[in-house]
A and B are shown apart, each in its own frame.
Chain A
Amino acid sequence: MTTVHVESGLPISPGPAIRTPDGERFLDGIAGTRIRQNGCASAAYAALYANVDVICAYPIRPYTAIMMNLAQFIADGILDAEYIAADGEHSQFSAAFGAGSCGARAYTGSSGVGVTYGYEMYSIISGARIPIQMAIADRTLDPPGDFGSEHTDALCTRDMGWLLGWAATPQEVFDKSLLGYAIGEDPRVLLPQMIAQDGYFVSHIAGEVEMPTIAQVEEFLPPYQLPFPLDPRRPVSHGPQIHPEQGPPLQLERARAMEDAIPVIRGKTDEFARIFGRRYPHFVESYLLEDAEIALVISGGHSVTCRAAVNRMRAQGIKVGMARLLWIRPFPSDDLREALRGVKAVGVVETNLGLGGASYGGILSLDVTTALYQMTGERPLVTSFMAGLGGETVPISEFDWMAGKLGQAVARGSVEKATHWVGFEE
């Protein structure tokens, strides 16, 4: 379908982006198959299916493999896209921003200190309402140098106006990347997206990923249609200076876009299930929460271990459940309250660092606590657990320990403290 701009009568974009013949053959060949691949490869395949126009790369472990995969797709003639090997993350995100501002579908990504090096760009890109996508395979921030996974990098950016989804498996990385574009590019939203996955635990461990047909993807993800591109046929000015009195309404608009994303995420998640046959909860995975007395709130790949731990504890008669956050921005306050209704004590598993915050522990518990404080009726007790920092695994025994602390809190009627450092306490 050709969209014609009303004022100029000119086609803004003649139609969907074409693919290369080799790309079509390749995707037709893998459609309907399951490929064993890690989270990085999954993200790259999603970008290939999304037929991105501009890719902005800069190397940093562990997300680099996403960009390596995409470079190979281009070298093999499977994907036609401009590949910018930028001179740093700030330039990388700026270039993606420039491409997205012209109406090109742009893709970028980073890890760890790379995520924070480009920090200036986050507010600017979301404020400009340019819905580019950024893949994050998370990594501990320096110091000291540490390749390991920690959620701090992505969570540092949580208030900058980007949608922030967290995937726990390679399949979910693939699905969430397509979902991200579909939600972010929706004219009701127009926000950039961060699709995060745990470094190594997800980015470098293979899982089976189902490959869709091109037709499925094109039905779900229409061509990128920025309503106000930098197009000489219809001149616009992006990002002029404002006066202070113009600030509040613009900020309110951006805040509303984040709120408006909530129903769009619900709708797109349902549409995704209809087209691809995989149904995800809209925001919160409720695992054995119906009759639970205690619950662990978690995001990302450690939820796989957590689920196993919950199963074992259930077998021992402990009424424990798990709530996994699929999206952290917008924060699913309603869904979380609904999922945790009736639970007596909640423990937030913090695989991140929020130094000196209200809980003197992590970042996630601040949002969880705020959401639960608004709960009508009886509120659960809330504490948090610092675990899995620096790339350390969170073994089943630690989840058992956390559940023990929650059980004690229920018995006592109060939490012992706001934050427990797992492994450093009795």
Chain B
Amino acid sequence: MSYEVHRQQLPLFEEDGRAAATDDEHGRDLHYLPTLPDEDPYAAGHRTCAGCGPAIQYRWVLKAAGNDTVVAGPTGCMYVANSTYLCTPYTVPWAHTPIASGGSFTSGMAAGYEAMIRKGRYPGPYPNILVMAGDGSASDIGLGGMSGALYRNHDALFVCYDNECYANTGIQVSPTTPYAGMTTFTPFGKAIPEGKKLPPKNLAKMMAEGHPHCYVATTTVGYPVDLMNKTRKGLNHQGAAFLHCYTPCQKGWVYQTSMTVELGRRVVESGLWPMWEYRPEDREYHYFHPPVQRPVTDYLAMQGRFGHMLPEHVATMQAGANRNWEAIGMDVPKSLRELEDPARHKRLHDEEYSMPLNRGVGA
């Protein structure tokens, strides 16, 4: 004999209301937000930086998840900035885990609730179980544990908030740091003018390809309804789900703090962050085709971490973006194709709306 495990099904937010939203000159809806739940499990009281992308993501994810939720947070900036003894912003149960334990600890929580409900130790329903791990935790030191948890298909949502560096420790390179992204472990100099030489690890694709039974999606803080709906889809999916969310870090990337959400749009519109959903039912990738396609300089020049890039580096970046456009089934306009030629570029810090160069040492 055992008790049945009842699972929650969270309704998705309407996206039809977009028509009523204000459009900018590119046809992008600017102010559309559906009616959101009053629940706000990520409350005030944290110490994140002004314009913190991960904090925006944390708030939307937990708003979407609601109060019947248990959260794990591996070591990272969102551990250190959020939880201070006797003062944490969580109104839902939250636990810190070691940086490598995001996936494994969360799989233990899921297993614990499965067993406790079956054996009559918890009245249920099965709570939303999720972890929000930084890119260092999810794509680097805790990758094995994260993959193990997805492979074992625990009913939980594994979120990576990706600020493309180890921000907590003072902006060090992580596997998701973009090519030419300056960090304190990949500074630029005479011998290495581009800073980071390697292209980033494609974490979300790795998770989808490697764990085809899982719901996997990418999103950014530029698309709050998308972020919340993907959170709910991941939680509703019976089994493991992985959500890879782009979350700008103003401290590490050096941009105006009001531009966090705009960066979340532009990274998609410049082809550097393909936004998609992988559904295990049909084993297909469903790509989002943004209404605007921009040159990468529109994105890069907003950030001090790229300010050192030379024309050939920008061209390399544009070539990468163009390959991304092709991979998600969009045409690459001639204007963008031409930008694969270094002769078409200036040094990035000569771009007219460039931010000051990041010559600092991170934190």
Residues of A within 8 A of B (CB): 11, 13-15, 17-18, 20-21, 51, 53-54, 56, 80-82, 84-88, 90-92, 94-104, 106, 120-121, 124, 128, 223, 229-232, 234-243, 246
Given known contacts A98-B107, A230-B93, A238-B96, is B1 in contact with A21 (CB within 8 Å)?
yes
Candidate in A80, A91, A223 with the most chain B CB atoms within 10 angstroms: A91
Contact check, B100 vs A120: say whether CB atoms are below 8 A apart: yes
> B75: shortest Cβ distance to chain A, in Å?
10
Select one of A15, A98, A241 contacting B120, CB under 8 A.
Answer: A15
Select one of B67, B90, B145, B152 contacting A94, CB under 8 A.
Answer: B145
Q: Please give, as numbers and ranges, the residues of chain A lying within 8 Å of B70 by CB-CB distance.
A: 102, 230-232
State the CA gap A422–B105 with chains docked (Å).
44
Contact check, B118 vs A95: say whether CB atoms are below 8 A apart: no
A90: nearest chain-B partner, CB-CB: B100
Chain A CB within 8 A of B34 CB: no
Q: Please give, as numbers and ranges, the residues of chain B lying within 8 Å of A14 by CB-CB distance.
A: 120-123
> B44: shortest Cβ distance to chain A, in Å?
15
Residues of B within 8 A of A (CB): 1-3, 67-70, 72, 79-80, 83-88, 90-98, 100-101, 103-109, 111-116, 118-123, 127, 144-145, 147-148, 151-152
Candidate in B103, B105, B120 with the most chain A CB atoms within 10 angstroms: B105
Q: Please give, as numbers and ranges, the residues of chain B lying within 8 Å of A229 by CB-CB distance.
A: 93
Given known contacts A56-B108, A230-B109, is B96 in contact with A240 (CB within 8 Å)?
yes
Select one of A95, A103, A104, A237 contacting B107, CB under 8 A.
Answer: A95
Contact check, A237 vs B83: say whether CB atoms are below 8 A apart: yes
A238: nearest chain-B partner, CB-CB: B95
Select one of B3, B80, B115, B147 contacting A104, CB under 8 A.
Answer: B115
State the CA gap A91–B69 with chains docked (Å).
22
Given known contacts A18-B2, A53-B119, A240-B83, is B105 in contact with A94 (CB within 8 Å)?
yes
Contact check, A18 vs B112: say whether CB atoms are below 8 A apart: no
Contact check, A240 vs B85: say whether CB atoms are below 8 A apart: yes
Candidate in B111, B120, B122 with the most chain A CB atoms within 10 angstroms: B111
B103: nearest chain-A partner, CB-CB: A91
A225: nearest chain-B partner, CB-CB: B121
Contact check, A102 vs B109: say whether CB atoms are below 8 A apart: yes
Q: Please give, as numbers and ranges, the residues of chain B lying within 8 Å of A120 by CB-CB distance.
A: 98, 100
Contact check, B119 vs A17: say whether CB atoms are below 8 A apart: yes
Q: Please give, as numbers and ranges, the residues of chain A lying within 8 Å of B95 by CB-CB distance.
A: 98, 101, 128, 230, 237-239
Contact check, B101 vs A99: say whether CB atoms are below 8 A apart: no
A92: nearest chain-B partner, CB-CB: B104
Q: Is the interface of A mostly helix, strand, loop or mixed?
A: mixed
Known: A18-B3, A99-B111, A102-B108; 18 extra A-B contacts, CB below 8 A, are A18-B120, A82-B111, A84-B107, A88-B144, A91-B103, A94-B101, A97-B97, A97-B101, A100-B108, A104-B111, A230-B70, A230-B94, A232-B70, A232-B92, A234-B93, A235-B90, A235-B91, A238-B95
Contact check, A232 vs B127: say whether CB atoms are below 8 A apart: yes
B79: nearest chain-A partner, CB-CB: A241
Contact check, A223 vs B83: say whether CB atoms are below 8 A apart: no
Q: Please give, as numbers and ranges, the residues of chain B lying within 8 Å of A92 by CB-CB distance.
A: 104
Q: Please give, as numbers and ranges, the residues of chain B lying within 8 Å of A95 by CB-CB distance.
A: 104-105, 107-108, 111
Contact check, A53 vs B112: say whether CB atoms are below 8 A apart: yes
Contact check, B94 vs A80: say whether CB atoms are below 8 A apart: no
Contact check, B104 vs A18: say whether CB atoms are below 8 A apart: no
- Enumerate 17 A-B pairs (CB-CB under 8 Å) in ascending A order: A13-B122, A15-B121, A17-B121, A20-B2, A53-B111, A86-B104, A87-B151, A91-B100, A94-B101, A94-B145, A98-B111, A102-B109, A102-B116, A231-B70, A234-B93, A241-B84, A241-B85
B2: nearest chain-A partner, CB-CB: A80
B91: nearest chain-A partner, CB-CB: A235
Contact check, B97 vs A98: say whether CB atoms are below 8 A apart: yes
Q: Please give, as numbers and ranges, the residues of chain B lying within 8 Å of A21 by CB-CB distance.
A: 1
State the CA gap A106–B151 with chains docked (Å).
21
Q: Please give, as numbers and ranges, the residues of chain B lying within 8 Å of A128 by CB-CB distance.
A: 95
Given known contacts A20-B1, A87-B148, is B83 in contact with A241 (CB within 8 Å)?
yes
